[in-house]
Amino acid sequence: MTIHLPIVWNELLRLGRRRITYINRTGPLLIALAFLSFAMAISWYTDEIFTPSPETFGSFMMFLVAIIEVLTGFSAPMVACATLTDEKDENTLGLLLMADLRGWDVVLAKFVSVFLLSEMLLLSAMPFIGFAMIFGGVDLHTVGMHAAMMTSFLIMACAAGTYFSAVSPQSGLAVTQTALLLGLWFVGTSYVDYNSAAWGLPIGQPALGVLTPIWGASGIPLAQMLPGVFLNMIIAAACLFEAVRILPRQIHARADAPRTAKVRGSERGRRWARRSSEPLAKLAASSLRSMGFSRRSIPMRILAFLGLLTILMFPVAGLFMLWILVFRETILALKKAREQGALDDLVLVPVSDEALGVAFWRGHTCATRMYFAAIVIWFAFYAWFMQFDRNGVRMLLIFLPITIAAHINVTALSCVAGTARFRYGMTGSLWAYLFVGGAVIGLLMPLYVEYLIGMFPTTRNLVYRTGAGYTVLAIAVYIGVNVLGHLASALLAVRCLGGRLRRCAGLQGT
């Protein structure tokens, strides 16, 4: 059980060549800075001139640190998810194991390199920590505890990512599964945390400091942290051991082996394929499927589905997670299709660009229908949950059509994003990040505007401020505007999709 340094070196070298690494390194920092300026602007606008005491400034800095940490905690396992699936993609896993390397050499080296990368990402928090310490918001003890907890979390998350990348045939799936595990971890630790006082146990903050960063670590004695750290270490060890155990079996999972799913799948899509663009849409669906949407066994599907469900427990975050996955998978599948020429037969079909775009998008909708099902189940779950809420029905009525329209919009946009030329697959995540970043700002804006000017028709207001003069008509208009907005965006995307597909396959539009 040694760390094979050449693999670590190789991994870091290759990560260093990928654009996504630079984005991962600078992205969190930039977002923190953007947040800083946004907060400044808001406080200036609201005339609450920002004259903080050193203490509040320090804790504000720690809040920025927390943003960086959360983003790192999110992106590091993503990178880990691609480590071993990449080897499978490029057919090099067998070659590695044929060299004089044992499973441990490979798994541990991959894990260490991703962990090192994530620690490097954390370094971008250093200036803020420095400020915080200068202004006295935090002391060395807090920062130390923080770093220790974050490290223990990252060890766990990276190990989980490495494990799932060993199991999955494809990185998108590994991301889903990692999200499942982290989701369970989050729910479990929150539960323990919430109940530990009631149980009279000093479990306190089991590794949760990451999620409650500012107040989490301060003033808690080290001993109380240990259970959480211990839990993380156990999960990490279990993941790594299991990854080593199953690794040799993974070489045999030949990526190109089962082609049967393709045929079966396109037959199943008969219902939606009755209209004129049928054969084309079928072709699109099957080329997408053969490019990665299909490579799933039943247990994997169930696991992925559970993962989605767990994520969806957290309403808005869950939806965004889901859409990130749709984005990533589409972009990766399209990239691969382009590389292997799987798109060529599709774009050569002599139809107009519009028809091609519509057909492709329908094929894509069919290939990603699992996500649609996840949304429906999410609503079923909420419908059950909402019976305890006086405003539940109203909430559902507003949310359901908007979410469905938004989902349609997302699938269309992800197709268009996938036609952009990327050199590396991971760059696809950039689009997902950008999209989600834009959407989050789009969601936050009305909230801030509402904060500034009082009443504003946000979903929350419509649901909870029933007495405040929102009529049924107002609600209907709100829903209508949102739904139409999404659909118009989707329509625009689909219209330009065909031409883009042809261009990205190197053809002129017809």
Partner 1 sequence: MSVAISIRHLCKKYRNVNAVQDLSFDVHEGDIYGFLGPNGAGKTTTMRILATLLRPDSGEAHVMGHNVVTHPHAVRPLIGYMPDSSGAYRDMLVVEYLEFFAAAYRVPIDRRRRVVDDCIELTGLVDKRDALIEGLSRGMRQRLGLARCLINDPQVLILDEPASGLDPRARIEVQEILRALGAMGKTVLISSHILSELRTLCNTIGILDGGKLVYSGSIDEALARARTKLRLEIRLADRHDEAGKMLMETGGIVEISVGEEILGVELPHGTADFSFVAEALVRNGFRVLTIKEEEVLLEDAFLHLTGAGA
Ligand X SMILES: Nc1ncnc2c1ncn2[C@@H]1O[C@H](COP(=O)(O)OP(=O)(O)OP(=O)(O)O)[C@@H](O)[C@H]1O
Question: Which residue from 19, 254, 264, 390 is in contact with ligand X, where contact means CB under 6 A?
Answer: 254
35-54 residues near partner 1, rule: CB under 8 A: none
Instruction: For Cα atoms 240, 242, 244, give the angle at the middle one, nearest 5 degrees.
Output: 70
Cβ proximity to ligand X: between 91 and 352 the closer is: 91
Question: Which residue from 49, 98, 223, 257 is in contact with ligand X, where contact means CB under 6 A?
Answer: 257
Whole-number minimum distance, CB 170 to ligand X, in Å? 16
Residue nearest to ligand X (CB): 257
- Residue whose pair of structure tokens reads 């009305």 in the numeric block: 446
Cβ proximity to partner 1: between 25 and 102 the closer is: 102
Q: Quick one: which of 316, 324, 262 has its CA closest to 459?
A: 316
Decide if residue 298 touches ligand X (CB under 6 A): no
Question: Which residue from 37, 51, 100, 388 is in contact with partner 1, where contact means CB under 8 A?
Answer: 100
Whole-number minimum distance, CB 255 to ligand X, in Å? 9
Whole-number minimum distance, CB 90 to partner 1, in Å? 5
Contacts of 161 (CB under 8 A, 6+ apart): 76, 77, 78, 79, 80, 81, 83, 114, 174, 178
Whole-number minimum distance, CB 254 to ligand X, in Å? 4
Cβ proximity to partner 1: between 7 and 182 the closer is: 7
In whole angstroms, give the CA distance from residue 112 to residue 260.
38
CB 79 within 8 A of CB 139: no
SS (H, E, C) 476-505: HHHHHHHHHHHHHHHHHHHHHHHHHHHHHC
Whole-number minimum distance, CB 172 to ligand X, in Å? 21
Q: Quick one: which of 321, 319, 323, 316 has its CA closest to 444?
A: 316
Cβ proximity to ligand X: between 259 and 274 the closer is: 259
From the list ligand X, partner 1, none, pick the one residue 91 interacts with, judged by a Cβ distance below 5 to 8 Å according to partner type: partner 1
Q: Quick one: which of 87, 95, 208 has its CA closest to 153?
A: 208
Decide if residue 98 touches partner 1 (CB under 8 A): yes
Decide if residue 90 touches partner 1 (CB under 8 A): yes
Question: Which residue from 30, 34, 40, 99 is in contact with partner 1, where contact means CB under 8 A?
Answer: 99
Whole-number minimum distance, CB 104 to partner 1, in Å? 13
Decide if residue 260 touches ligand X (CB under 6 A): no
Q: Quick one: which of 79, 48, 76 has its CA closest to 451?
A: 48
Whole-number minimum distance, CB 249 to ligand X, in Å? 12
Whole-number minimum distance, CB 5 to partner 1, in Å? 8
Q: Quick one: which of 242, 243, 281 has its CA closest to 265?
A: 281
Question: Which residue from 10, 190, 196, 391 is in contact with partner 1, where contact means CB under 8 A?
Answer: 10
Task: Kindly state the number of chain residues that form the binding site for ligand X, as judged by CB under 6 A.
Answer: 2
Cβ proximity to ligand X: between 255 and 404 the closer is: 255
Contacts of 309 (CB under 8 A, 6+ apart): 374, 377, 378, 381
Burial of 255 (0-12, 13-18, 19+ CB in 10 A): middle
Decide if residue 421 touches partner 1 (CB under 8 A): no
At 323, list the tokens. Answer: 């859409």
235-274 residues near partner 1, rule: CB under 8 A: 251-252, 256-257
Sign of CA dihedral 205, 209, 212, 217: positive
Task: Kindly state the number of chain residues that form the binding site for partner 1, as judged by CB under 8 A.
Answer: 26
Burial of 66 (0-12, 13-18, 19+ CB in 10 A): buried
Decide if residue 92 touches partner 1 (CB under 8 A): yes
For ligand X, the binding residues (CB under 6 A) are 254, 257
